[in-house]
Amino acid sequence: MFQVLSKSLIELEVNGEIKSIVVRPADTLLFALREQLGLTGTKDACGNGDCAACTVLVDGWPVKSCLMLAVEAVGHKITTIEGLKDIPIQKAFLDKFALQCGYCTPAFIINSHALVTIHPDANDEVIKEWLQSNLCRCTSYEEIKEAVKWVLGQ
C-alpha cells in the first residue's frame, strides 16, 4: 500500500500530464492543484465539502478536491477546468448566460460535463441529483439547467 509519512515527492497525472510535486500528508488535492501546480481555475470557497466550487474529475467522476488528500490522487487521472477546452458545455454556459461572477462556474462545468458524459439521457431528476451539490449565488440556476439541457439535446 502507498504510504506517505512525511513531506514527500509524489507524481500526479493532471490534465494528461505527469507532474512531480512535494506534498505534506495533510495537503488536500485542492491545495496541491492551486498552490503547487498553479491550476487556480479550481476554486476554494468553503474548504468543507459544502459548496463544491473545488470539483475536479478523478478518473472521469466529479470529486470535491477539498475533501481528497493530494496523496490519495496518486495513480488516478485528474482533470481540472484547465483540461477542458471548447467542449459543448462551455459553449452552452456562454450562450445561455449561465454565469455571472464566474467563481462557481469551473466546478459547475466540470460537474455538468461529467453528468452529460456519464448520463447522456439524464432526465430532470438526474440533473437535479447531480447539480444540487454545487452552490451558485449569482444566477437563478435556471440558466445552468438550460445550458445542461441544451448539451443533452445535442
Partner 1 sequence: MTAEEMTIIGKSVNRKDAPEKVRGAAKYTTDYIAPDLLHAKLVTSTYAHAKIKSINTNEAQKVPGVQAIVTAEYCPGIVGVILEDQPMLAKDKVRYHGEPIAVVVANSEYEAKKAAELIQVEYEPLPVVNSPGEAIKPNAPLIHENHGDYRRLKHVFPEPGTNISNHVKIRKGDIGKAWAQCDVIVEDSFSIPQSDHAALEPRNSRCEIKPDGRVIIYTSSQSPFIVRKLISRYFNLDEGKVIVNTPLVGGAFGGKAAVHLEFLVYMASYAVGGRMVKLVNTREEDLIGSPCKIGLEAKVKLGSTKDGIIKAAEITYLVDGGAYSNMGVAITKSIATDCTGPYKIENVFCDAICVYTNHPFTTSFRGFGHMEYTFAIERTIDMLARKLKHDPLELRIKNAIAPGDTSPSLVGLTPSNIGNLKECLNQIKKLINWDGGRKVDMGNGKIRTKGISCFWKTPSTPTDAVSGAVITFNPDGSINLNIGPVELGVGSKTVLAQILAERLKWDINKIHVTMEVNTELNPVHWKTVASMTIYMVGRAVLEAAEDLISQLKSIGSIVLRCSPTDLDVADGKVFLKEDPNQHLDVTEVVYGYKYDNGNSIGGQIMGRGTFIMKHLTTLDHDGGKGVPGPGWTLGAQAVEVEFDAKYCTYNILKAVTVLDAGKVLNPKTAEGVVKGGMSMGLSFATREYFDFDIQGKVLNHNLRTYKIMRFGENPQYIVNFIETPQIDAPYGARAFGEHGIIGMPAALGNSLAAASDTDLNKLPLSPETIWKTRKEAAQ
Q: Out of 12, 14, 23, 34, which residue is the one contacting partner 1 (CB under 8 A)?
A: 34
The grid coordinates listed for 41 are 481555475
- For partner 1, which stretch binds (CB under 8 A), given 1-9, 69-77, 89-97, 114-122? 89-97
Q: What is the DSSP string of 70-102?
A: GGGGTTSEEE-GGG--S-HHHHHHHHTT--SS-
Q: Report whether 134 contacts 111 (CB < 8 A).
A: yes
Task: Name the minimum Å distance from CB 93 to partner 1.
Answer: 5
Using CB under 8 A as the binding rule, whether residue 6 contacts partner 1 is answered as no
| Binding to partner 1 in span 94-133, by CB under 8 A | 94-95, 97, 99-106, 109, 127-128, 131-132
Pick between residue 1 and residue 19 the one whose CB is nearest to partner 1. 19
Closest approach, Cβ 135 to partner 1, in A, equals: 6
Measured from the CB of residue 26, what is the shortest distance to partner 1 in angstroms? 7
Pairing mode, strands 8-14 and 17-23 = antiparallel
Torsion angle (degrees, nearest 10) of CA 114, 115, 117, 122: 180
Nearest C-alpha neighbor of 134 from the set 110, 154, 152:
110
Q: Which residue, 68 or 106, has its beta carbon nearer to partner 1? A: 106
Cα–Cα distance, 78 to 80 (Å, whole number)? 7
Binding site for partner 1 (CB under 8 A): 24, 26, 34-35, 38-48, 50-51, 53, 80-82, 84-85, 90, 93-95, 97, 99-106, 109, 127-128, 131-132, 134-145
